[in-house]
Structure 1
């Protein structure tokens, strides 16, 4: 179980680093401050952009943190 614990801790530290970097830039960590997300495209779908559900399309970290604090 040591390997699983190590990988879990490593993944958590990467996520914390991503959140800290996004906070310093003032960007939403899910959409990188763009305000929209483009879903994965395959041969059966058409690429459309959708507002980021985490920051409600604003791209700001403050909106992301307020929507994730619930």
Structure 2
């Protein structure tokens, strides 16, 4: 069981580090500040099939918009 706890702690640490870096840069952590998310259509021959507006930041790419949306989801 200790291995699962260690993996969980490692993943949480990675996530926390990314959130801190994105906050410092002012970029949305979901889309890395691009404002859109790409979907990959094939595993073997990667080709981008669809582009979607980022739901985390409402396509702005800004950390503050991502944070506001996350807070709204917690409240509701």
8 A contact 2:39–2:49 mirrored in 1:
yes
User: How far apart, in 2, do the equivalents of 1:4 and 1:47 lie?
Assistant: 35
Given that 2:40 and 2:50 are in contact with CA atoms closer than 8 Å, whether structure 1 keeps it comes out as: no
1:4-55 alpha-carbon deviations (Å, 9 max, x no partner): 0000000000000000000000000010000000112228xx7121100000
Which residue number corresponds to residue 10 of structure 1? 10
Q: Give 4+ residue runs of structure 1 displaced > 2 Å after superposition.
A: none
Query: RMSD of the alignment, in Å?
Result: 1.6
CA distance in 2, matches of 1:25, 1:62: 11
- Where do 5+ consecutive residues of structure 2 fail to align? none
Structure 1 stretches lacking a partner, 5+ long: none
2 CA distance for matches of 1:10 and 1:68? 23
- How many pairs does the alignment contain? 69
CA distance in 2, matches of 1:39, 1:66: 25
* Larger strand fraction of residues: 2
TM-score where L is the length of structure 1: 0.90
Q: Compute the TM-score of the two structures, normalised by the length of structure 2.
A: 0.84
Paired with 2:40 and 2:64, the residues of 1 have a C-alpha distance of 27
